[in-house]
Amino acid sequence: MNAVQTAPEQVDWVNYHLREMEPKDSKAYSELMASSPDTGRITIQVIFKEDPYEMLMKRRIGQVVVVAETPEGQVVGSGAADARPIWFEKQAVQAVHMHSLMVHPDFRQKGVATALVNWRIKWAREHYGEDVLIFAEIQQNNIASFNNAQNWATGFGQQRESGFHRVYRQAPKAVAGLKIREASENDFDAIAEGLNEFNHDVNFTRYVTADRLHRNLEPIHGQVFRHRYVVEKNGEIVGGAVLSSHDPSMEIRLIRAPFAAKMLARITGMIQDEDLLNGGEIDGIWFKPGCEDATHYLVDELRYRASSNTSSLNFTISNPKAWEALQISHWQPHTILSVAYLRPTKLQPFTETK
């Protein structure tokens, strides 16, 4: 299934009114999140401890958030989308990422998800043109989402993987010629060049610029949760990664998982009381050719530095080459996401605007 197709014809859904989320929807959005945990092999529930509308807008979790409501005013579904440049077929293209799809259990299989998808496809094309690439991630074994994607996607692409591993209580042994430090803004041009070279041949990985790296680390409510690190070899930056701490403004609860995955999460300390997930995250892993061991040393160091405030770390892999730096066994339980995409006839190259 990889031929170029057009999006399904837009349909007026008489039972649901679709509109952009407003501040008044915060309570209804919270109730929808509580009733609609993510589904698939591993099921989690995200709970915002602050006002959902403020969280979504200030944290740019979604550039646009759409809700579906019944004639009685009940919010029964929601979805988000944001524009980003990504690597696709070895070129930087303009794309829109559809994510955070939720449908109330009582309203599933009634066209709500399809309506939310169609609304966001239309929004993407209205704002970024007919040649925008549109994609979404679907957790493995989420049959309903895969069936829905069959209606709009022209193909399924590079899988993404995420999981967790324990922190280290002792620092790794120093390696001659390697130095680890937190990145400064003066490093961002070199990091962007290294990340883009690392990702350019893997579809759906992010295209980055120095400005985007800066915005990625901006504080939220005066707190900095993400820190970018680099590893130098004989004075040259050869790799990097991002270490994020747990965000206290939200809770993530594990609802369902395979027995082995849940046991490992408990052993590593990822699961706390009431099945709450408590941990930071390592992502943005990259390295120059032949320098995977240097970035592995960096990852081990970050696992040690994180031990002061957490007992385990989540990792996210969008580029399979990053496994060479993680160097952990694939048998360990982790979540696999497939990427469904709607490819235009002609791709739109990304151009940075000030």
Q: What is the pLDDT of residues 45-77, one digit of tens each?
A: 666 777 778 777 765 555 899 999 998 888 999
User: What does the alpha-carbon distance between residue 2 and residue 71 come to, in Å, rounded to a whole number?
Assistant: 38
User: What does the alpha-carbon distance between residue 124 and residue 126 come to, in Å, rounded to a whole number?
Assistant: 6
For 24-68, the DSSP string reads GGHHHHHHHHHH----SSSEEEEEESS-HHHHHHHTTS-SEEEEE
Q: Same structural domain for residues 178 and 108? A: no
Q: How confident is the model at residue 167 (pLDDT cuts 50, 70, 90)?
A: confident
How many separate domains does the chain show?
Answer: 2
Q: Is residue 297 part of a domain?
A: yes
Q: Same structural domain for residues 227 and 262? A: yes
Task: Answer yes or no: is pLDDT of 275 > 70.
Answer: no
Q: Same structural domain for residues 134 and 222? A: no
Q: What is the pLDDT of residues 104-158, one digit of tens each?
A: 988 888 889 999 999 999 999 999 999 999 999 998 778 888 888 999 999 999 7
Task: Answer yes or no: is pLDDT of 218 > 90.
Answer: no
Q: Same structural domain for residues 153 and 198? A: no
User: What does the alpha-carbon distance between residue 227 and residue 210 come to, in Å, rounded to a whole number?
Assistant: 15
Q: What is the pLDDT of residues 302-345, one digit of tens each?
A: 999 998 888 778 888 999 999 999 887 654 556 788 999 999 99
Query: pTM for this structure?
Result: 0.84
Q: Is residue 3 part of a domain?
A: no
CA distances, 209 to each of 125, 188, 216, 265, 295 (Å):
24, 8, 11, 35, 21
Q: Is residue 8 part of a domain?
A: no
Q: How confident is the model at residue 288 (pLDDT cuts 50, 70, 90)?
A: very high
Q: Same structural domain for residues 21 and 155? A: yes
Mean pLDDT of 185-206: 97
> Token pair for residue 341?
């995409």
Task: Answer yes or no: is pLDDT of 38 > 60.
Answer: no
Q: Is residue 2 part of a domain?
A: no
With a CB cutoff of 8 Å and minimum separation 6, the contacts of 153 are 1, 340, 341, 342
* CB atoms near residue 16 (< 10 Å): 21
Q: Same structural domain for residues 237 and 313? A: yes
Q: Same structural domain for residues 224 and 255? A: yes
Q: What is the pLDDT of residues 73-93, one digit of tens each?
A: 889 999 999 999 999 999 999
Q: Is residue 288 part of a domain?
A: yes
Burial 246-270 (b: 16+ CB within 10 A, else e): bbebebbbbebbeeebbebbeebeb
CATH code for the domain of 312: 3.40.630.30
Q: Same structural domain for residues 215 and 110? A: no
Q: Same structural domain for residues 179 and 294? A: yes
Q: Is residue 89 part of a domain?
A: yes
Q: Same structural domain for residues 199 and 324? A: yes
Q: Is residue 133 part of a domain?
A: yes
CA 274 to chain centre: 25
Domain that residue 322 falls in = 162-334
Task: Answer yes or no: is pLDDT of 223 > 90.
Answer: no
Position 9 scores a pLDDT of: 44
**Overall residue count recorded for the chain in this entry:** 354
User: What does the alpha-carbon distance between residue 164 and residue 265 come to, in Å, rounded to a whole number?
Assistant: 8
> Token pair for residue 90?
């070895």
Q: Same structural domain for residues 281 and 140? A: no
CA distances, 63 to each of 50, 97, 98, 350 (Å):
19, 10, 10, 18
Q: What is the mean pLDDT of the chain?
A: 84
